[in-house]
Amino acid sequence: MGEVVDVRQNLIEPHNSDFGVENSLVVDTGQDHIAVGGYGAFLEDYEVKHTTLRRA
């Protein structure tokens, strides 16, 4: 668990990912920033099965 601090994506403008298939959330775990992606993630640090986002 952690706070989302960045988004890497290539779906809508402005694009900010290095690769066209990179769509991930960057999460601050309190000790590090990790990238999490969805099903089949291979560029990110972790592949997630379920994600819940809540308004801060």
More confident of the two residues 13 and 19 = 13
- Is this prediction's pTM over 0.85? no
What is 2-51 written as a DSSP string? -EEEEEE-SSSSSP--SSTT--EEEEE-SS-EEEEE-TT--SSSEE-S--
**pLDDT for residue 45:** 92
Burial class of residue 39, CB neighbours in 10 A (0-12, 13-18, 19+): exposed
Look at residue 1 and tell me whether its pLDDT is greater than 80. Answer: no
More confident of the two residues 6 and 56 = 6
Report pLDDT digits (tens) over 23-54. 899 999 999 999 999 888 888 999 999 888 88
